[in-house]
């Protein structure tokens, strides 16, 4: 039986407009999912949308629609984004689905049975204008004695009945959990932040509301609806069919990886494991918090009008170039800056010149001088062994990179081999061997074809379309494109199709 791998994106809040940040998170998960499939795993890759909450209720009202009709409409944008980015998710969960109501209700009952839920009152300074609660310390007192939020909105003291989760009781168990699972939170700096937060003490968590109704009712007390994160986080479990132990996907929980933006790290690394442990469910193995993108040096913001639509980028530069750029440009986990200049540079230098051109020059030499068929392997020289060895080391190397979500390092590893390939072809000069040693020329071209095959194979998760084309040109059968297949050499004499450039250079239109 294949080993299982379960990776999730956050569920995206439908009130947002999908932008490059959402695309980035989802893309990272997609590459992992594709990599694991390539490596023989049975993969469950989940994304989805968070469709409950007061903001949605209000937005629906403003649009003159029922909340359900509203979310049916706006959630489409996120599924379209997935299609545009070439995302290979197995499921796209929506928190408004019946299966999720069943699962969230069951979770609540588990927490209740564990004695971790009690009825209390949620009170605090609330600004109606901001629809938000504020801490005493955040407020400013005006001359007339009234208090205002940092936004300047007036606040009032409100009390609302609410169910609470006994998070305060979980501090020690959480700290023990982090200690026992040092890889649970990544990157390291984020782990430190979470540890420091939990060590500072935990307060009980309000997990229900009565002030609006668009949510999942609390079992046994339907005046309340479950609040935000309890319902939202549970989606990851819902998708595995829980609480039906016989569900087809039952074996996928716990997730191997929750990919999140750094803004929602705490919910995934503090509340979520506490909920799960309380419910007697296994905890996810790892949560990775990636960084943010700025656009041409500026924060992404609607008011700046610099929100970059993924579809527009794909339209301008091509899907694979965009996918490559996002994972290549910035060490994963760091913040990064998106600039068109940098994207064009990566596309032209690394994709077109380094990789595309290496394939094109190698393949056209084979087409012209080897009758268009794959030459045989021959006695290997020291240089042949070195280059072939570097390529053959890639799968094992990338396995480690992928398991630590080091996409940038993974791509750098591959590019070292590609650069070495260009050095090799220059030194071997098969175009000169054509006149002096045709047999050796064939052997050299075969080394290049073999190296390109490995490179194209391991790059498929990042650039599925263009690497598929490259494998076509290398004569690799569609059933021989996974990592395991790399152990079997291609048959000499395989007829290769006419080579065609895979990555055209991007030329700015003359103005």
Partner RNA sequence: GGCGGCGUAGCUCAGCGGUAGAGCAGGGGAAUCAUAAUCCCUUGGUCGGCGGUUCAAAUCCGUCCGCCGCUACCA
> In three state form, how does the secondary structure of 396-418 look?
HHHHHHHHCCCHHHHHHHHHHHH
CA–CA dist 265, 445 (Å, integer): 49
400 Cβ neighbours under 8 A, 6+ residues apart:
none
Q: Which of 486, 255, 455 is nearest to 356 (CA)?
A: 455
3-state SS assignment for residue 494: coil
Total Cβ atoms within 10 A of residue 432 = 10
| Helix residue ranges per DSSP H, 239-381 | 265-266, 272-279, 310-317, 319-328, 340-345, 357-369
Q: Which stretch binds RNA (CB under 7 A): 173-181, 279-287, 310-318, 423-431?
A: 423-431
CB of 40 to RNA, least distance (A): 30
146 Cβ neighbours under 8 A, 6+ residues apart:
154
Nearer to RNA, 392 or 409 (CB): 409
Do 495 and 472 meet the contact criterion of CB atoms below 8 Å apart?
Answer: no
CA–CA dist 344, 251 (Å, integer): 43
Q: Which stretch binds RNA (CB under 7 A): 13-21, 35-43, 96-104, 488-496?
A: 13-21
Does 312 help bind RNA (rule: CB under 7 A)? no
Does 505 help bind RNA (rule: CB under 7 A)? yes
What is the pattern of x (binds RNA, CB under 7 A) and - over residues 194-213? --xx--xxxx-xx-------
Does 345 help bind RNA (rule: CB under 7 A)? yes
Q: Which stretch binds RNA (CB under 7 A): 29-37, 105-113, 185-193, 218-226?
A: 185-193
| Residue choice 225, 228, 279, 463 for contact with RNA (CB under 7 A) | 228
Nearer to RNA, 330 or 483 (CB): 330
For the stretch 47-79, what's the b/e string if a residue is b when 16 or more beta carbons lie within 10 angstroms of its beta carbon? Answer: bbbbbbbbebbebbeeeeeebeebbeebbeebb
Q: Provide the β-strand partners of residue 158.
A: 124
Total Cβ atoms within 10 A of residue 355 = 28
CA–CA dist 167, 93 (Å, integer): 27
Nearer to RNA, 146 or 334 (CB): 334
What is the pattern of x (binds RNA, CB under 7 A) and - over residues 263-292? xx-x--------------------------
| Residue choice 76, 429, 439, 491 for contact with RNA (CB under 7 A) | 429
Does 431 help bind RNA (rule: CB under 7 A)? yes
Does 349 help bind RNA (rule: CB under 7 A)? yes
CB of 36 to RNA, least distance (A): 25
For the record, the structure tokens of 145 come out as: 């004695």
CB of 410 to RNA, least distance (A): 14
Q: Which stretch binds RNA (CB under 7 A): 51-59, 99-107, 450-458, 483-491?
A: 51-59
Cα 69 to chain centroid, rounded:
28
Site for RNA in 22-41 (CB under 7 A): none
Helix axes 171-180, 188-199, angle to 10 degrees: 160
CB of 360 to RNA, least distance (A): 3
Site for RNA in 105-134 (CB under 7 A): 122, 131-134
| Residue choice 9, 26, 283, 360 for contact with RNA (CB under 7 A) | 360
| Residue choice 330, 411, 476, 483 for contact with RNA (CB under 7 A) | 330
Total Cβ atoms within 10 A of residue 448 = 29
Q: Which stretch binds RNA (CB under 7 A): 32-40, 226-234, 387-395, 471-479?
A: 226-234
Distances from the Cα of 292 to the Cα of 27, 230, 443, angstroms: 14, 25, 47
Q: Which stretch binds RNA (CB under 7 A): 96-104, 142-150, 353-361, 452-460?
A: 353-361
CB of 404 to RNA, least distance (A): 12
Q: Which of 403, 179, 184, 163 is nearest to 272 (CA)?
A: 184
Contact residues for RNA (CB under 7 A)? 11, 13, 15-16, 50, 53-55, 122, 131-135, 167, 189, 192-193, 196-197, 200-203, 205-206, 227-229, 232, 262-264, 266, 330-331, 334, 336, 345, 349, 352-354, 356-357, 359-361, 364-365, 419, 422-423, 425-427, 429, 431-432, 501-505
């Amino acid at each position: 039986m294949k080993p299982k791998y379960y990776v999730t994106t956050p569920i995206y809040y439908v009130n947002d407009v999908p932008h490059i940040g959402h695309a980035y998170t989802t893309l990272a998960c997609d590459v992992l999912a594709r990599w694991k499939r390539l490596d023989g795993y049975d993969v469950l890759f989940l994304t989805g949308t968070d469709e409950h909450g007061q903001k949605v209720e209000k937005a629906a009202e403003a649009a003159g629609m029922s909340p359900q009709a509203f979310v049916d409409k706006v959630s489409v944008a996120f599924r379209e984004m997935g299609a545009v980015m070439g995302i290979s998710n197995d499921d796209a969960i929506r928190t408004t689905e019946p299966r999720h109501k069943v699962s969230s209700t069951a979770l609540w009952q588990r927490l209740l049975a564990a004695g971790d839920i009690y009825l209390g009152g949620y009170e605090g300074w609330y600004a109606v204008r901001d629809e938000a609660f504020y801490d005493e310390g955040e407020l400013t007192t005006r001359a007339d004695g009234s208090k205002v939020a940092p936004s300047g909105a007036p606040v009032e003291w409100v009390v609302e009945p609410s169910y609470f989760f006994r998070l305060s009781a979980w501090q020690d168990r959480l700290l023990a959990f982090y200690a026992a699972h040092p890889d649970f939170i990544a990157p390291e700096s984020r782990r430190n932040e979470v540890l420091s937060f939990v060590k500072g003490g935990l307060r009980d968590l309000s997990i229900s509301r009565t002030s609006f109704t668009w949510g999942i009712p609390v079992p046994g007390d339907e005046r309340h609806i479950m609040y935000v994160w309890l319902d939202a986080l549970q989606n990851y479990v819902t998708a595995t069919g829980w609480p039906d132990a016989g569900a087809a996907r039952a074996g996928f929980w716990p997730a191997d990886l929750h990919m999140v933006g750094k803004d929602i790290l705490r919910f995934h690394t503090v509340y979520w494991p506490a909920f799960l442990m309380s419910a007697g469910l296994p905890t996810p193995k790892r949560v990775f918090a990636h960084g943010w993108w700025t656009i041409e040096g500026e924060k992404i913001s609607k008011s700046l009008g610099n929100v970059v639509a993924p579809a527009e980028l794909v339209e301008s530069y091509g899907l694979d170039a965009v996918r490559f750029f996002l994972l290549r440009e910035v060490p994963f986990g760091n913040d990064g800056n998106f600039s068109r200049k940098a994207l064009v540079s990566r596309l032209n230098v690394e994709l077109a010149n380094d990789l595309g051109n290496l394939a094109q020059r190698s393949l056209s030499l084979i087409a012209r001088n080897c009758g268009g068929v794959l030459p045989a392997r021959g006695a290997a020289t020291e240089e042949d062994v070195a280059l072939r060895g570097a390529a053959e080391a890639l799968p094992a190397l990338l396995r480690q990179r992928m398991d630590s979500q080091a996409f940038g390092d993974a791509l750098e590893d591959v590019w070292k081999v590609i650069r070495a390939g260009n050095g090799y072809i220059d030194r071997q000069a098969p175009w000169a061997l054509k006149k002096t040693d045709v047999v050796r020329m064939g052997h050299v071209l075969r080394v290049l074809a073999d190296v390109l095959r490995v490179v194209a194979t391991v790059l498929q998760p990042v650039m599925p379309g263009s690497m598929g084309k490259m494998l076509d040109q290398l004569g690799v059968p569609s059933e021989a494109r996974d990592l395991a297949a790399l152990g079997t050499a291609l048959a000499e004499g395989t007829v290769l199709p006419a080579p065609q450039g895979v990555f055209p250079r991007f030329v700015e239109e003359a103005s």
